[in-house]
């Protein structure tokens, strides 16, 4: 790029250089294809929401223009008219604009994929282009990334299809979006997304700026694969198929510069405060880069910006990081900090504003307190209203007087049920056509308990009929993710559950065997195959089998069984399944294992301990267990106090029974 | 005394049985010195005055009696013998000598040949008050042909994945390929604390560890750990980020006593490096921090820290396979500057000895012999017109006239008959090779036939 001019003079214009001569293009997607800003975005598309009193799309266009983009395609879907009107009025559509903006609208776009397929169909891009959303605020100089991208494409013909721009920022930084928490595996040398080479790096300190430099193939790849809906689908698809298709994705990491996507209100809050704190320099509030009449303001220390004709009452303080739009009047004894106030607002006396985002034409009466909340255009807050954290007052809502809204309250003029009716077309966009159901809305009365005696508006709740993945989308302020529990025994847990599922399977098998009268040999076969499926050792099989059989009466008839009922139902079962047992209990060790499993179970079921003798007796009679094994088990030291006690209780009775049955005096003497 | 050195020299050399059949691994000659000399020398160079050597009776006897095995080290050797058939792991051995250990320890394996700067490892240990610091090196390709092996054997061992932080010093993660059936699993809590992790493969663990004394105490309490490399190190690396290590109330004295009572819990607690009070205070008052980004205290309050020094250059070999043994023999002479030809060797004027060969004590080399890139052990006799190239000849070997030996390893006390032609073979000890015999690189282990 740098040598472009010199080479041209030499008349050495190759075709590649000619390509570079073509204007840099950008695709700006001015639709979010989700509902994160509902209900605010019911009245205004997200791209036009004001951030620092300037519509977000203006920041994106300014960013593109400053990086040298000469042709921008703005794709809008819903509320395209509003976006179009806004753009036509703005400086971008003046004849002097260095960046030619084409507005392409269609109601059919449902995702980023649709937009890029349309780009391909209309054959709009001829060269590498920048793909960006209409809600990205950035001052990153991507020309370096662009150069690297072009270089890579020159070296390896068309292998690299995309270069994503990332900004370094440690986990926990407030401009990191919790939902967009990326972990990247990259090759540090080639800056490529990869794993599996000898050395790679796993990074969690990168922030996805949602700015990507794409080759023209990207549009084609989207056309080829209709599964690609979002950029994430695309990246994943490319990485998974890297070996087959040979396409690679690279990344560009910048240390300085600012880049963030306003993807929820949490991000709105942090980007807005970063803006006021001048992190996005040169895009600052007083710069008036949109070049509109009356937008200018003055910047004084502690980052206090005042628009034209701002009047401030006696004793009011603008502490720090405050931006006040033109023609706004503020009463006496107000405390304002870390807030943005739009144009034509009126604020009464004794008002406290902290981290408040007030848009245009807002009326705040006296004695109001607002913390970390968004108040949209035309809203009216009556006297002595207290807005707690993360409240949202959507367009034209009236609140109060004398009311305190709890944390996270969202008030809108749209009734929540309205949305459900609109849902019929399954059109999941922010920018959804609102049915002209105003009459209907009017009929529903406002609830004074919710919005105050003179209030207008409905409490907006997450609609209940949404599917589970929409659960995320309903929270305006973004997620509060709980940190993952730091457990040491992840693997153990999974093994445990394997045993558990195996146990359930065995239970199912036996149950079926009983119901359908299956031959025991077949049961053994089934259990054997389960053993392999769950990778269970023979010893465990036996223990689990014993357990399942002994618990079977409880399973079937509940745990309230008396000991007599229990033995009554268990003993026939043992008889039926004795071939199964015999198949697994062969060696002397098996006998002992089986016995210990029996013991363990009766230790848990301590009310039925007396049944143990009978069970052992039956097992002995059925020749499942050998006498020597039982005696050996009895004589070996008990593992803990409880089992010792159990054995003691059982021992005498068992021995006497044993004696009667076995008629072998010497063996019983051994036992004593 | 800051560190006590412990040398592990009881290993059997199970991966090179052909060589260790007659000579124990620590005594295998490398550059005419027993292998054990190299780690001892390494320790001596950095100024250790005393070393605890854990070995078997047999090796001890050889060291003390056999003049060929004499270790010319000035350090005081405290030799501890363990039962050879007890099948003790390295951690078991440490447990065995727990009584002797008064300070933090430096554990070295007897098969390490390196010119690494040991202070790098120890400095990490000191600077970060680490529980463990270890040495690793880039793996080397073995260039020499290995006798008795057909073609170049691919290293069948599975790769180790080692995760270090952005500075490349802190050891965060360690896993063997064999254990990664579900892919690389790294906990997000680690990533949150240390957002950059380099995953490296192709590293050799030098088996050189600095360990806190508390780790030895932990071993004494926890009998199930038997090997340092196999169990202890992965355990320590993992433990860095488990909750009990970071919870602040562990320095609560009462709490500690409570935990000691309930069995297992105290095992974990004891391994903590208990930062001294002053050190703690220094850290609190200091503006130094080991990470950037979040505002939490240095090391995120992690009290158990593992570090690794990865050598970029220099040599680092573990002589545990035949290939490594041959490679070490080729490179070992470069490590010390002693005359290549021992003064007591009787060498004919009319023989040819390459500069890269070493001749041991009281050797006899006759006329017209030619020796290139080889090592000749002590008391070996090489007769007329013998050609030895790229070979290792151990002690007391007799090579009769006109033999041609190439790329082979000849073990001690073997007699090679006149005119024998041996190429790429491994000949066991005390063998007799018939005159005029010709042995070429055979697919099977030729050496076995001679035992």
Average pLDDT over residues A225-241: 87
Q: Where are the beta strands (DSSP E) in A444-514?
A: 458-459
Average pLDDT over residues A14-24: 61
How sure is the predictor about A645, in pLDDT bands with cuts at 50, 70 and 90? low
State yes or no: pLDDT of A421 exceeds 70. no
How sure is the predictor about B150, in pLDDT bands with cuts at 50, 70 and 90? low
Q: In what order do the strands lie in the sheet with A380-381?
A: A311-312, A329-330, A346-347, A363-364, A380-381, A398-399
Average pLDDT over residues B3-31: 83
Q: Under a CB-based contact definition with an 8 Å cutoff, are residues B405 and B389 in contact?
A: yes
Residue B419: per-residue pLDDT: 86
- Is B267 in the A-facing interface, judged by CB distances under 8 Å? no
Residue A361: per-residue pLDDT: 94
Residue B179: per-residue pLDDT: 75
DSSP reduced 3-state for A221: helix
State yes or no: pLDDT of A481 exceeds 80. no
- Is B163 in the A-facing interface, judged by CB distances under 8 Å? yes
Average pLDDT over residues A131-156: 90
Cα distances from B88 to residues A109, B24, B180, B208, B224, in angstroms, run: 69, 16, 27, 18, 12
What is the per-residue pLDDT across A254-277, written as a single tens digit (0 to 9) for each? 988 899 999 888 889 999 999 999
What is the per-residue pLDDT across B372-394, written as a single tens digit (0 to 9) for each? 888 888 889 998 889 999 889 98
Residue A14: per-residue pLDDT: 46
Tokens of B237: 């690396």
Residue B141: per-residue pLDDT: 75
State yes or no: pLDDT of B210 exceeds 60. yes
Of the candidates B137, B159, B142, the one whose C-alpha atom is nearest the C-alpha of residue B205 is B137
Residue B243: per-residue pLDDT: 64
Site from A169, A170, A186 to mutate, B interface, most B CB atoms within 10 angstroms: A170
State yes or no: pLDDT of A636 exceeds 80. no
Pick the more confident residue, A216 or A542: A216
Q: What does DSSP assign to residue A573?
A: H
Question: How far is residue B192 CA from its own chain's centroid?
Answer: 35
State yes or no: pLDDT of B217 exceeds 80. yes
Residue A522: per-residue pLDDT: 83
Q: Which range has highest mean pLDDT (A617-621, B122-126, B286-290)?
A: B122-126
Average pLDDT over residues A617-624: 80
Question: Do residue A199 and residue B199 have CB atoms under 8 angstroms apart?
Answer: yes
State yes or no: pLDDT of A366 exceeds 60. yes
Nearest-CB residue to B293 (from A172, A202, A488): A172
Cα distances from B26 to residues A476, B13, B325, in angstroms, run: 69, 9, 12
Question: Do residue B198 and residue A173 have CB atoms under 8 angstroms apart?
Answer: no
- Is B148 in the A-facing interface, judged by CB distances under 8 Å? no
Tokens of B121: 């490892």
Comparing A247-251, B157-161, B216-220, B281-285, the range with the smallest average pLDDT is: B157-161
pLDDT averaged over every residue in chain B: 80
Of the candidates A604, A497, A598, the one whose C-alpha atom is nearest the C-alpha of residue A548 is A598
Comparing A549-553, B40-44, B359-363, B445-449, the range with the smallest average pLDDT is: B445-449
Interface of A with B in 169-208 (CB under 8 A): 169-173, 183, 188, 195, 198-205
Question: Do residue B199 and residue A171 have CB atoms under 8 angstroms apart?
Answer: no
**Cβ neighbours of B191 in A, within 8 Å:** 171, 183, 202, 204
Nearest-CB residue to A484 (from B188, B197, B293): B188
Cα separation, A77 vs A69, in Å, equals 22
Q: Where are the beta strands (DSSP E) in A228-359?
A: 248-254, 259-261, 297-300, 304-307, 311-312, 317-318, 322-324, 329-330, 335-337, 340-341, 346-347, 352-354, 357-358
Q: Which range has highest mean pLDDT (A126-140, A479-493, A494-508, B148-162)?
A: A126-140
Cα separation, A173 vs A177, in Å, equals 9
Residue A337: per-residue pLDDT: 93
- Is B188 in the A-facing interface, judged by CB distances under 8 Å? yes
DSSP reduced 3-state for A570: helix
Comparing A10-24, B203-217, B352-366, B428-442, the range with the smallest average pLDDT is: A10-24
Site from A167, A196, A204, A206 to mutate, B interface, most B CB atoms within 10 angstroms: A204
Residue A354: per-residue pLDDT: 92
Give Cβ neighbours of residue A664 (< 8 Å, ≥ 6 apart). A627
Tokens of A151: 């270089």
Residue A638: per-residue pLDDT: 54
Cα separation, A150 vs A160, in Å, equals 9
CA dihedral of A45, A46, A51, A56, whole degrees rounded to 10 = -90
Cα separation, A550 vs A571, in Å, equals 10
Average pLDDT over residues A228-245: 85
The residue assigned the tokens 């990074």 is A203
State yes or no: pLDDT of B151 exceeds 80. no
pTM over 0.90: no
Comparing A42-56, A139-153, A198-212, A645-659, the range with the smallest average pLDDT is: A645-659
The dihedral of CA A555, A559, A565, A568: what is its sign? positive
Residue B69: per-residue pLDDT: 66
Strands A297-300 and A199-203, by their bridges, are unpaired
Nearest-CB residue to B196 (from A172, A203, A484): A203
Strands B50-55 and B76-81, by their bridges, are parallel
| B164 to chain A: closest CA residue | A201
Cα separation, A377 vs B72, in Å, equals 89
Give Cβ neighbours of residue A645 (< 8 Å, ≥ 6 apart). none
pLDDT averaged over every residue in chain A: 79
Residue A669: per-residue pLDDT: 41
Residue A424: per-residue pLDDT: 41
Comparing B108-117, B211-220, B244-253, the range with the smallest average pLDDT is: B244-253
| B292 to chain A: closest CA residue | A170
- Is A1 in the B-facing interface, judged by CB distances under 8 Å? no
Q: Under a CB-based contact definition with an 8 Å cutoff, are residues A607 and A563 in contact?
A: yes
Q: Under a CB-based contact definition with an 8 Å cutoff, are residues B396 and B134 in contact?
A: no
Pick the more confident residue, A308 or A428: A308
**Cβ neighbours of B202 in A, within 8 Å:** 198-199
Nearest-CB residue to B189 (from A200, A205, A486): A486
**Cβ neighbours of A205 in B, within 8 Å:** 195-196, 293
Strands B104-109 and B203-211, by their bridges, are antiparallel
Tokens of B434: 């018939």
Residue B242: per-residue pLDDT: 75
Report phi then psi at A405, rounded to 5. Answer: -90, 130
Residue B176: per-residue pLDDT: 81
DSSP reduced 3-state for A104: strand
Report phi then psi at B180, rounded to 5. Answer: -95, 60
How sure is the predictor about B257, in pLDDT bands with cuts at 50, 70 and 90? very low
What is the per-residue pLDDT across B64-81, written as a single tens digit (0 to 9) for each? 887 766 777 888 889 898
How sure is the predictor about B308, in pLDDT bands with cuts at 50, 70 and 90? very high
**Secondary structure of A236-293 in HEC code, one letter for each residue:** HHHHHCHHHHCCEEEEEEECCCCEEECCCHHHHHHHHHHHHCCCCCCCCHHHCCCCCC
Give Cβ neighbours of residue B28 (< 8 Å, ≥ 6 apart). B13, B19, B20, B34, B35, B319, B325
- Is B238 in the A-facing interface, judged by CB distances under 8 Å? yes
Of the candidates A605, A549, A627, the one whose C-alpha atom is nearest the C-alpha of residue A581 is A549
How sure is the predictor about A336, in pLDDT bands with cuts at 50, 70 and 90? very high
Give Cβ neighbours of residue A187 (< 8 Å, ≥ 6 apart). A193, A194, A197, A199, A200, A201
Cα separation, A481 vs A472, in Å, equals 11
Cα angle for residues A167, A171, A174 (degrees, 5° grid): 80
Residue B68: per-residue pLDDT: 67
Residue A623: per-residue pLDDT: 78
Cα separation, B420 vs B433, in Å, equals 7
Q: How many CB atoms lie within 10 A of CB B287?
A: 5
Q: In what order do the strands lie in the sheet with B426-427?
A: B358-359, B375-376, B392-393, B409-410, B426-427
Cα separation, A569 vs B306, in Å, equals 59
How sure is the predictor about B106, in pLDDT bands with cuts at 50, 70 and 90? very high
| B173 to chain A: closest CA residue | A202
Residue B281: per-residue pLDDT: 81
Give Cβ neighbours of residue B333 (< 8 Å, ≥ 6 apart). B31, B340, B356, B358
Cα distances from B46 to residues A295, A574, B111, B120, B124, in angstroms, run: 72, 73, 18, 11, 16
State yes or no: pLDDT of B126 exceeds 60. yes
Nearest-CB residue to B202 (from A198, A483, A486): A198
State yes or no: pLDDT of A432 exceeds 60. no
Strands B398-399 and B381-382, by their bridges, are parallel
- Is B242 in the A-facing interface, judged by CB distances under 8 Å? yes
| A206 to chain B: closest CA residue | B195
Pick the more confident residue, B428 or A416: B428
The residue assigned the tokens 């007396």 is A610
Q: What is the DSSP string of A163-206?
A: EEEEEE--TT-TTS-GGG---EEEETTTTEE--SSSEEEEE--E
The residue assigned the tokens 């709980």 is A482
Strands B358-359 and B375-376, by their bridges, are parallel
Secondary element (H or E) of residue B391: none
Radius of gyration of chain B (CA): 25
**Cβ neighbours of B195 in A, within 8 Å:** 170-171, 203-205
CA dihedral of A207, A210, A216, A218, whole degrees rounded to 10 = 80
Tokens of B315: 């040599």
What is the per-residue pLDDT across A91-140, written as a single tens digit (0 to 9) for each? 888 888 899 999 999 888 888 999 999 999 999 988 899 999 999 999 99
Radius of gyration of chain A (CA): 36
Chain A to chain B, count of Cβ pairs less than 8 Å apart? Answer: 63
CA dihedral of A64, A166, A179, B294, whole degrees rounded to 10 = -120
């Amino acid at each position: 790029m740098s040598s472009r001019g010199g080479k041209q003079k030499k008349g050495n214009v190759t075709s590649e250089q000619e390509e570079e001569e073509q204007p840099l293009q950008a695709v700006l997607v001015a639709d979010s294809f989700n509902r994160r800003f509902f209900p605010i975005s019911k009245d205004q598309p997200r791209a036009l929401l004001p951030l620092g009193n300037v519509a977000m799309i203006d920041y994106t266009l300014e960013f593109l223009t400053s990086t040298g983009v000469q042709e921008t395609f703005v794709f809008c879907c819903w509320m395209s008219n509003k976006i179009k009107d806004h753009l036509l009025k703005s400086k971008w559509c003046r004849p002097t604009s260095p960046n030619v903006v084409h507005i392409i609208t269609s109601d059919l776009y449902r995702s980023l994929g649709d937009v890029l397929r349309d780009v391909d169909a209309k054959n709009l891009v001829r060269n590498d282009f920048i793909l960006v959303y209409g809600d990205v605020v950035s001052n990153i100089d991507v020309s370096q990334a662009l150069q690297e991208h072009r270089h890579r494409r020159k070296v390896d013909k068309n292998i690299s299809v995309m270069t994503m721009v990332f900004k370094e920022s440690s986990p926990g930084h407030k401009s990191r979006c919790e939902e967009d928490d990326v972990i990247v595996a990259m090759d540090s040398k080639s800056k490529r997304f990869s794993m599996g080479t000898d050395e790679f790096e796993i990074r969690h300190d990168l922030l996805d700026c949602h700015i990507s430099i794409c080759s023209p193939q990207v549009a084609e790849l989207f056309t080829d694969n209709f599964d690609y809906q979002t950029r994430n689908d695309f990246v994943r698809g490319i990485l998974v198929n890297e070996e087959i298709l040979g396409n690679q994705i690279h990344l560009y990491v910048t240390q300085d510069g600012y880049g963030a996507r306003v993807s929820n209100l949490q991000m709105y809050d942090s980007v807005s405060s970063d803006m006021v704190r001048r992190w996005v320099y040169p895009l600052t509030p007083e710069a008036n880069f949109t070049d509109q009449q009356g937008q200018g303001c003055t910047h004084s220390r502690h980052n206090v910006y005042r628009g034209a004709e701002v009047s401030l009452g006696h004793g009011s303080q603008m502490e720090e990081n405050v931006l006040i739009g033109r023609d706004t009047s503020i009463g006496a004894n107000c405390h304002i900090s870390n807030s943005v106030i739009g144009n034509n607002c009126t604020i009464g006396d004794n008002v406290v504003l902290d981290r408040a985002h007030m848009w245009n034409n807002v009326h705040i009466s006296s004695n109001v307190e607002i913390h970390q909340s968004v108040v949209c255009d035309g809203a009216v807050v009556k006297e002595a209203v207290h807005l707690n954290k993360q409240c949202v007052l959507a367009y034209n809502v009236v609140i109060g007087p004398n009311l305190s809204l709890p944390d996270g309250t969202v008030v809108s003029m749209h009734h929540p049920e309205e949305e459900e009716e609109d849902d019929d077309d399954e059109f999941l966009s922010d920018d959804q056509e609102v049915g002209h159901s105003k009459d209907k809305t009017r009929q529903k009365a406002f609830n004074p308990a919710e919005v105050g005696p003179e209030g207008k508006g409905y409490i907006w709740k997450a609609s209940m009929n949404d599917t589970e993945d929409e659960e995320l989308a309903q929270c305006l302020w973004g997620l509060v993710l709980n940190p993952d529990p730091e457990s040491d025994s992840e693997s153990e847990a999974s093994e445990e559950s394997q045993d558990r599922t195996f146990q359930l399977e065995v239970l199912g098998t036996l149950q079926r065997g009983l119901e359908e009268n299956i031959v025991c040999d077949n049961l053994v076969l089934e259990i054997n195959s389960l053993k392999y499926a769950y990778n269970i050792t023979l010893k465990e099989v036996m223990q689990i089998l014993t357990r399942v059989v002994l618990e079977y009466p409880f399973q079937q008839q509940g745990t309230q069984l008396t000991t007599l009922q229990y033995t009554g139902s268990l003993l026939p079962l043992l008889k039926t399944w004795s071939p199964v047992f015999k198949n697994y209990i062969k060696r002397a060790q098996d006998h002992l294992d089986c016995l210990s499993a029996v013991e363990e179970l009766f230790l848990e079921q301590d009310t039925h301990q007396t049944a143990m003798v009978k069970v052992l007796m039956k097992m002995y009679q059925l020749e499942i267990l050998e006498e020597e094994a039982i005696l050996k088990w009895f004589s070996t030291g008990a593992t803990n106090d409880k089992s010792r006690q159990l054995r003691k209780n059982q021992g005498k009775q068992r021995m006497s029974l044993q004696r009667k049955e076995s008629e072998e005096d010497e063996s019983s003497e051994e036992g004593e | 005394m800051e560190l006590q050195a412990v040398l592990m020299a009881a290993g059997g050399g199970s991966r090179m049985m052909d060589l260790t059949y007659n000579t124990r691994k620590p005594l295998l000659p490398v550059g005419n010195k027993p292998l054990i000399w190299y780690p001892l020398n390494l320790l001596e160079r950095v100024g250790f005055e005393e070393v605890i050597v854990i070995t078997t009776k047999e090796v001890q006897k050889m060291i003390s009696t056999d003049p060929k095995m004499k270790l010319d080290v000035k350090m005081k050797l405290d030799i501890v013998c363990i039962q050879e058939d007890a099948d003790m792991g390295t951690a078991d051995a440490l447990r065995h000598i727990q009584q002797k250990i008064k300070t933090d320890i430096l554990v070295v394996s007897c098969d390490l040949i390196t010119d690494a700067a040991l202070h790098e490892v120890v400095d990490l240990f000191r600077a970060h008050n680490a529980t463990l610091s270890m040495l690793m090196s880039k793996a080397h390709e073995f260039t020499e042909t290995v006798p008795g092996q057909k073609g170049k054997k691919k290293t069948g061992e599975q790769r180790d994945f080692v995760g270090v932080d952005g500075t490349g010093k802190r050891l965060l993660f360690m896993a063997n390929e064999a254990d990664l059936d579900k892919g690389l699993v790294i906990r997000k809590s680690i990533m949150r604390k240390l957002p950059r992790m380099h995953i490296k493969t192709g590293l050799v663990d030098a088996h050189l560890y600095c360990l806190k004394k508390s780790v030895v105490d932990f071993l004494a309490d926890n009998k199930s750990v038997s090997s340092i490399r196999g169990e202890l190190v992965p355990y320590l690396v993992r433990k860095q980020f488990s909750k009990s290590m970071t919870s602040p109330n562990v320095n609560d004295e009462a709490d500690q006593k409570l935990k000691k009572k309930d069995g297992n819990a105290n095992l974990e607690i004891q391994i903590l490096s208990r930062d001294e009070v002053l050190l703690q205070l220094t850290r609190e008052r200091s503006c130094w921090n080991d990470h950037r980004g979040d505002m939490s205290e240095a090391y995120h309050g992690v009290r158990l820290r593992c570090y690794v020094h990865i050598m970029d250059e220099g040599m680092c070999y573990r002589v545990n396979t035949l290939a490594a043994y041959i490679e070490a023999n080729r490179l070992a002479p470069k490590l010390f500057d002693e005359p290549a030809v021992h003064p007591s060797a009787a060498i004919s004027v009319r023989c040819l000895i390459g500069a890269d060969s070493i001749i041991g004590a009281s050797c006899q080399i006759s006329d017209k012999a030619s020796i290139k890139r080889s090592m000749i052990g002590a008391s070996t006799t090489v007769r007329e017109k013998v050609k030895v190239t790229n070979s290792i000849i151990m002690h007391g070997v007799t090579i009769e006239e006109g033999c041609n030996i190439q790329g082979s390893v000849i073990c001690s006390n073997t007699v090679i008959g006149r005119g024998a032609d041996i190429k790429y073979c491994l000949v066991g000890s005390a063998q007799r090779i018939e005159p005029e015999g010709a042995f070429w690189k055979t697919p099977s282990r030729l050496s076995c036939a001679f035992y």
